[in-house]
Amino acid sequence: MQAPAANRPGAEAVPRRRDAGAARKFRVMKAVVLTRTGAPEVLEVKEWPDPAVGAGEVRIAVRAAGLNFADTMARVGFYPAAPKMPCVLGYEVAGEVETIGPDVSGFVIGQRVMAGTRFGGQAELATAQARDVMPLPDNLSFEEGAAFPVSYGTGYAALMIMGGLREQNRVLIHSAAGGVGTAATQIARNAGAEIFGTASAAKHPAIQAQGVHHPIDYRSQDFKAEVRRLTDGEGVDIIMDALGPTSFRKDYRILRPGGRLIMYGLSEALNENGRNLRAAVTSLLRLPTSTMPWWHTGRMLNQNRGVFGLNLLSWWRREGGMGRITAPLLTDLGAGRLAPIVAKAFPFDCAGDAHRFLAERRNIGKVVLTPS
């Protein structure tokens, strides 16, 4: 348990509210607001009502909020589950407990925490279900804490639950230098896997430092041919891919018997300015035939390969929390065996720049937003 805020430097800046029924000192906050779809410039910092705190919830004074590709997809109108505009995006935060709702125990005001928020995170205050709030280890900064819930939860769900990762398995991680990519690489490394990772050549030293054994330059090399060469034609056991059908086709063909492909995104439908309509339409048309011959059960019986689709938000909603995909990682996180990589922190006023930085794939690790 973390010490109360009063015993830590800087704690005086955190509003003091003992529970959800206490009088609030202010009723509006600053937030990054999406008022319409479009390029990164549509994001605006506005005054926004404080989020309510209900039973089983905790409100957090946000010090850092994670930025994910899902946020960029919501910004351009490609994410049907996004709230109705105007809205505040953001799935994960780190900060200090500001208000504790009814029926919540185990937290104290001012405690350093990180949490999954299911939207609303990119604001000065964010409310989360208590079951999705985790103590922030002392060895992590707020920015590093905001880089944990979504990226590491995605990596664990894909590799350990869907992929059934075991020691000495061969794993191919696309976009290995990104937020999810670096998280998945660390998880696979700790499991003793042989790791293949795609990234631009300039990022190869960084992904090798995280545990990638075989870096592949997706710009100059055909990853399918390179994986076959490196494995003497055998292929790999698990592939994580958030790119789209163009690469899904190749992925499926380099799975060895018993191999699993986990698809968790469609980033090829976006460019640095927003949605790429031609690429999006092409991707959607390719989806039905990009991997397995799903319409032909007889053929599938002979394939000996599996395909999974992973959507963290729908997983989260169905399970009612993130515990199954984050709790198993907390010991390694606290011990330093997992270490979130923060590419860059942008203030709220520069949220558009942060979206562009992520869309241009300039990051190594996670991009985060901070209130100031």
Q: How far apart are CA 69 and CA 240, in angstroms?
A: 15
170 and 109 share a domain? Answer: no
Residue 315 burial (C-beta neighbours within 10 Å; 0-12, 13-18, 19+): middle
155 and 302 share a domain? Answer: yes
Q: How far apart are CA 197 and CA 207, in angstroms?
A: 8
143 and 181 share a domain? Answer: no
117 and 250 share a domain? Answer: no
Q: How far apart are CA 38 and CA 180, in angstroms?
A: 25
**Residue 246 pLDDT greater than 90, yes or no:** no
**Residue 275 pLDDT greater than 70, yes or no:** no
| Share in percent of the chain as helix, strand, coil (round to 5) | 35, 25, 40
| Integer angstrom CA distances of residue 152 from 102, 125, 157, 188, 339 | 29, 23, 8, 11, 10
Instruction: Give how far the C-alpha of residue 53 lies from the chain's centroid of Cα atoms, to the nearest Å.
Output: 25
Q: How far apart are CA 173 and CA 120, in angstroms?
A: 29
Residue 335 domain flag: no
* Residue where the block lists tokens 């125990």: 105
Q: How far apart are CA 21 and CA 7, in angstroms?
A: 25
| Integer angstrom CA distances of residue 158 from 133, 196, 225, 267, 324 | 21, 16, 24, 17, 12
Which DSSP letter does residue 8 get?
S
288 and 165 share a domain? Answer: yes
Find the mean pLDDT for residues 65-69: 96
Residue 319 domain flag: no
> What is the structure's pLDDT at 15?
38
pLDDT tens-place string over residues 287-308: 555 555 554 667 777 889 999 9
Residue 320 domain flag: no
Confidence at 8, pLDDT banded by 50, 70, 90: very low
116 and 168 share a domain? Answer: no
Confidence at 110, pLDDT banded by 50, 70, 90: very high
pLDDT tens-place string over residues 111-160: 999 999 989 999 999 999 999 999 999 999 999 999 999 999 999 999 99
**What does residue 276 show for φ and ψ, rounded to 5 degrees?**
-105, 95
Find the mean pLDDT for residues 15-33: 61
Residue 254 domain flag: yes
111 and 227 share a domain? Answer: no
Residue 361 domain flag: yes
Residue 333 domain flag: no
Find the mean pLDDT for residues 350-366: 95
89 and 31 share a domain? Answer: yes
Whether residue 341 contacts residue 318, with contact meaning beta carbons closer than 8 Å, is answered with: no
> What is the structure's pLDDT at 20?
42
82 and 54 share a domain? Answer: yes
CATH number, domain with residue 113: 3.90.180.10
Nearest to 118 by CA among 104, 129, 131, 107: 129
213 and 82 share a domain? Answer: no
| Integer angstrom CA distances of residue 5 from 210, 270, 370 | 33, 42, 20
Enclosing domain of residue 187: 151-314
**Residue 17 pLDDT greater than 60, yes or no:** no
> Which ranges constitute the DSSP H helices of 60-120?
69-75
85 and 57 share a domain? Answer: yes
86 and 190 share a domain? Answer: no
> What is the structure's pLDDT at 24?
47
Residue 334 domain flag: no
Whether residue 117 contacts residue 127, with contact meaning beta carbons closer than 8 Å, is answered with: yes
CATH number, domain with residue 176: 3.40.50.720
Q: Give the chain's domain count.
A: 2
**Residue 272 pLDDT greater than 60, yes or no:** no
| Integer angstrom CA distances of residue 65 from 8, 54, 173, 237, 308 | 21, 21, 25, 34, 28
Residue 203 domain flag: yes
